[in-house]
Amino acid sequence: MNTLTKKSPPSGTLSLELLLGALTAFAPLSIDMYLPALPRIATDLQSTQSVIQLTLASCFAGLALGQLFTGPLIDRFGRTRPLYAGLAVYVLGSLGCALAPTATALVAMRFFQALGGAVALVAPRAVVRDLWSGADAARTMSRLMLVVGVAPVLAPLLGGFVLQHTSWRVIFVLLAGIGAVALVATWRVLPETAPEHSKTKSMRARLGELLRDADFVGPALAGGFAYAGMFAYIAGAPFVFITLHGVKEQDFGWFFGANAVGLVALAQLNRKLLRHIPLHRLLRLALTLYAVTAAGVMAVTWSGVGGFWGIAAALFLFVPTLGLVGPNSAAIALERHAAHAGLASAVLGALQFTAAASASWAVSVLNDNTAKPMGGVVLAAAVLAWLSGFLGHRARSRAASTEPTMTGASRVGET
């Protein structure tokens, strides 16, 4: 068995949580800031909207593969050193995007940028698991979403402001600057939290443990498909809002930000609900709400009821529910894998962004100059998330029924 020493949360927890939230926000920053620019990028690089949407898919693919690569590294070398290297790669990739001469080059550089940024997703989740567990971990992840939620609010607004006054390329220069600031802040604020443990098990054995654990696979897949629905919305929103319904580039961020504010609000509500509802049960309730609101998005995009405001209202109900799904699915998935939280966090994140890449690719391929592809992919992802959560719960229940009776303490929060 692995032996490990669990560390306690250090003093200065607020600054640590702010940094972890800021690092986790790299993905929405990298994605959302340039969303208002997608139509203009297609024009400037003499490409089509479908091809430019592939810059989103390549970003998601880079985030997925990058997490699989960096997860084992942060278990082997600690949380901080791989984070320094990844942030440096992110800065270089962002500058490469700013200088991209063609759409194909931009797709490639977005992939490179995401490879570096992936470690900023893996490391914070691993640090949270190093220091907290169970409902405490879920509450901490909900608090991180206070910081993460600012990114979808400000990023499109900042991107729209940049487009008003200069080129879309400046957006990527700003991202490079943000990456440099994060690198310095990480060096100053983040302590090494990786537990000491023996490395007797091979990567293959540890991965096998993960994939055999119903408490990991079910919530991880549920969270992954839930994020896929979110990114189907992200991939389709610029076309639906700006091109199809004529929303101005500088105004796009207000609609996008309103959904992000709702997401943050439900993430904070999640912290309060965890005091009254067991973690596993709350996740199942959240997945049901997620599927119901996704059905509403599908209904308005296919029927046209309410026009633009009907779509905007349906999305405002749908997007915030991820604030209930994301923290709880991640906390459950990581709970039993403290000794190798880096690998578990990497697999969890890779599943999320593989599903996200597939969803954004599907929206691009199915593009028929209507909002229907976005609505259809959103609902498909939500149904898969619901099924994954409930099938994982059934598998876990069957496994529990064959094991020796658990102590009362081990059952806390599992109902």
| Ordered DSSP codes for 11-62 | S-HHHHHHHHHHHHTHHHHHHHTTGGGHHHHHHHTT--HHHHHHHHHHHHHH
Q: Which residue has the higher pLDDT, 201 or 17?
A: 17
Residue 353's nearest CA partner among 269, 253, 235 is 235
Per-residue pLDDT, 412: 38
pLDDT at 1 (0 to 100) = 38
What local confidence, expressed as pLDDT, does residue 401 receive? 54
Say yes or no to pLDDT of 293 above 90.
yes
Number of DSSP helices (H) and strands (E) in the chain, helices first:
18, 0
Answer with the residue of higher pLDDT: 357 or 314: 314
Predicted confidence (pLDDT) at residue 12 exceeds the cutoff of 70 = no
Question: How confident is the model at residue 393, as a pLDDT?
Answer: 61
Least confident stretch, 18-27, 169-178, 189-198, 306-315: 189-198
Bigger pLDDT: 203 or 264? 264
pLDDT at 413 over 50: no
312, pLDDT greater than 90: yes
What are the Cα distances from residue 359, in Å, to 51, 54, 199?
15, 11, 37
pLDDT band at 78 (very low <50, low <70, confident <90, very high): confident
**pLDDT band of 302, cuts 50, 70, 90:** very high
Sequence-ordered list of residues with C-beta below 8 angstroms from that of 28, at least 6 positions apart, any chain:
148, 151, 152, 155
Contact 332, 215 (CB under 8 A): yes
pLDDT at 411: 39
pLDDT at 184: 93
What is the band of 395 on the pLDDT scale with cuts at 50, 70, 90? low
Query: Six-digit token pair at 394?
Result: 């059934």
Of residues 307 and 196, the one with the higher pLDDT is 307
pLDDT for 201 equals: 59
The fold of the 13-399 domain, in CATH, is: Growth Hormone; Chain: A; (1.20.1250)
Mean pLDDT, range 14-33, rounded to an integer: 84
How large is the average pLDDT for residues 94-123? 93
Longest dimension (CA), the chain: 66
Question: Which pLDDT value is given to residue 137?
Answer: 77
- Across 12-26, 107-121, 296-310, least confident range: 12-26
* 55/212: higher pLDDT: 55
Q: What percent of the chain has pLDDT over 90?
A: 32
pLDDT average, residue stretch 195-215: 70
**Could you tell me which residues are beta bridge partners of residue 4?**
197
- Cα separation, 201 vs 359, in Å, equals 35
In the predicted structure, residue 246 carries a pLDDT above the cut 90:
no
Give percent of the chain above pLDDT 70.
88
Domain boundaries, the chain: 13-399
Mean pLDDT confidence for 248-255 = 79
User: How far is 352 from 61, CA to CA, in rounded Å?
Assistant: 10
Residue 199 gets which letter from DSSP?
-
- Tabulate helix, strand, coil % of the chain (nearest 5): 80, 0, 20
Q: Residue 399 — very low, low, confident or very high, per pLDDT cuts 50/70/90? A: low
Residue 114 confidence (pLDDT) = 93
